[in-house]
Chains A and B, each alone.
Chain A
Amino acid sequence: MWRYIFRRFMQGILLVFLVAAIVFFLGRFTGNPADLMLPEDAIEADRVALIEALGLERPMHEQFAIFVRNALRGDLGESIRYRQSAVEVFFSRLPNTLMLIPGVMALALIMAIPLGILSAIRRGGIIDRLSGTLAVLGIATPNFWLGILLIYLFSVQLGWLPSARMGSWQHYVLPTVTLGTFLVAGYMRLIRSSMLEVLDSEFVKLARIKGLSETVVVWKHCLRNALLPVLTLWGVFLSGLVTGAIVTETVFAWPGIGRLTYEAVIFRDYPLLQAVIIMDAVLILFINLLVDILYAYVDPRIRLTN
């Protein structure tokens, strides 16, 4: 099992490295990298200092070496807007985003698992068709518009829930629903198709032949197998979650790393954007590793080989 984990870890490191390299090159190739990284009111002395520090007039591979060296020390540049280390800004906002995650995951699992299972067991039935329609709608509706629509309905018209920023538990509701929608839709379809596949498998037939009741067959034998793809495809969902977080936090003015990304774009704060992207890659590496460990533990075929 550990060899599997190690391999996945190395793949993750490769990803971080690739991302950093791409970010680096994109920054250096656009004519005037120094201008990109300096605030508008920078004086000539600042410019010179920056060029010196990052070696902007030296050949590319040397610049990259400096970049990597700094990165390993935790220095990914200084945010133009915040006048602080970009990495520091990132970590100061990260907890706010992390606070949203449990709610979103809970929503996704509580809704997707039962709906997915019931849709598969009673294929073509009312629940199947209803949830299918909801899923299709959920995927077609753009995240940002859903958020605004929800604000309009629940904040403006009904006045039940607040429309922006963090605060009490009420503040969590709309952002969680917005962010969670595509996750619910995606998971539900996945669990449904996974269940359908498992229900058709030989060992389920054998379980019925053994004389086990339908309940046991479904909830014990099918479920564990059907949920495995949820873990394997987690990486894809994580990617979508990050994207969704950017948009959702922007709509709800939620002070997390999603909104930070938006600010970096709007204010053309290149160093901050650079840091956010690379740190996102590290974050993704970390989370994927955790999921991989979980998956390796849950699937005995991986746990007990190699």
Chain B
Amino acid sequence: MKTLPWTSVIIICTMVFVALFAPWLAPHSPIEQSLANKLLPPFWQDGGSTTYLLGTDEFGRDVFSRLLYGARVSMTVSALALLVGGGIGLAIGIISGYVGGRVDGVLMRLVDAALAFPAILFALLLAVTMGQGLRTIVIAISLLLWATFARVVRGEVLSIKQRDYIALARVHGCSLLRIMVTHVMPNVANTFMVLLTLYVGVVIVAEASLSFLGAGIPPPTPSWGLMVAEGRGKITSAWWLSLIPGIAITLVVLAFNLFGDWLRDRLDPKLRQL
């Protein structure tokens, strides 16, 4: 416990806490407009007040509250995307690695193709064809993950395949599905967990980037990426609108990355090349 990266852990816990309890923590509603109070600076500058801790945007919405709710959006999308994308990657990795043969060949070809092409383009295409929304963005970000997960899991499975308990299971007549689920899957759990933590950062940035480009959760729901985009036009006069959400993103991603690295070093150092 001594060598736990405490700063990162604290930031992560704060993030999760804020995401869960945003409605109770936020002093204002994130979407309520108050044109009389528009474009107020953060409280430590002239003209700011402690009512609106981090200032307001051009519609008079409280930046601090929006920041808190934005944490919620980031965490929700991340959790869902990791579940879906990671889950698909896990399944494909196990099947490909264990079944082998032609199936493996075809699946890995697909994985190679997926890794060679920037997934963001498909994410954007989905936003245009399926419309913006939670479903779209979760699918879109899952596209970023599944290939890497599949490939890494497959690698693990290839080495697990050789082990004696698998041979025993086959001797005892276990079906293919049963072996994959009850014997193989638990043993890739370690690697899978580490991958998940390593990719939280990627997912958060992806969600922010998509929101920034106008392909994420539609307004008025506050997403950090969207906040940066909205504040961009006013950068000369109201720097806090764009810069503060960006700091939040960077800090959180940094914390997750460092924590993920630490976890990886503890549980599965051979993932180091990621």
Contacts and interface: CB of A to CB of B under 8 A. Distances in A.
A-B complex is real: yes
A142 B205 contact: yes
A15 B117 contact: yes
Interface string A1-32: 00000000001001100110011001100100
B182 interface: no
The majority secondary structure among interface residues of chain B is helix
A247 B205 CA distance: 12
Contact of B209 (A139, A144, A270): A144
B273 A14 contact: no
A280 interface: yes
A243 B121 CA distance: 8
Nearest to B120: A243
A36 B129 contact: yes
- A interface residue count range (under 10 / 10 to 19 / 20 to 34 / 35 or more): 35 or more
B116 A239 contact: yes
- B interface residue count range (under 10 / 10 to 19 / 20 to 34 / 35 or more): 35 or more
B124 interface: yes
Given A14-B113, A152-B235, A265-B128, A22 B122 contact: yes
Interface string A268-293: 10100110110011001000100000
A142 B226 CA distance: 13
A246 B120 contact: yes
Contacts of A141: 246, 250, 253
Nearest to B257: A140
B213 A136 contact: no
B257 A145 contact: no
A265 B213 contact: yes
A270 B128 contact: yes
A295 interface: no
Contact of B254 (A23, A136, A240): A136
Q: Name, among B109, B122, B209, B228, the residue most crowded by chain A CB atoms within 10 Å (CB to CB).
A: B209
B53 interface: no
B232 A145 contact: no
A150 B112 CA distance: 35
B86 interface: no
Nearest to B261: A136
A70 to B, nearest CB: 18
Contact of A281 (B117, B128, B215): B117
Contacts of A27: 129
Contact of A136 (B246, B258, B273): B258
Interface of B: 109, 112-113, 115-118, 120-122, 124-130, 201, 205, 208-209, 212-215, 225, 228-229, 232, 235-236, 239, 242-243, 245-246, 249-250, 253-254, 257-258, 272-273
Interface of A: 11, 14-15, 18-19, 22-23, 26-27, 30, 36, 136-137, 139-145, 148-149, 151-152, 156, 193, 235-236, 239-240, 242-243, 246-247, 250-251, 261-262, 264-266, 268, 270, 273-274, 276-277, 280-281, 284, 288
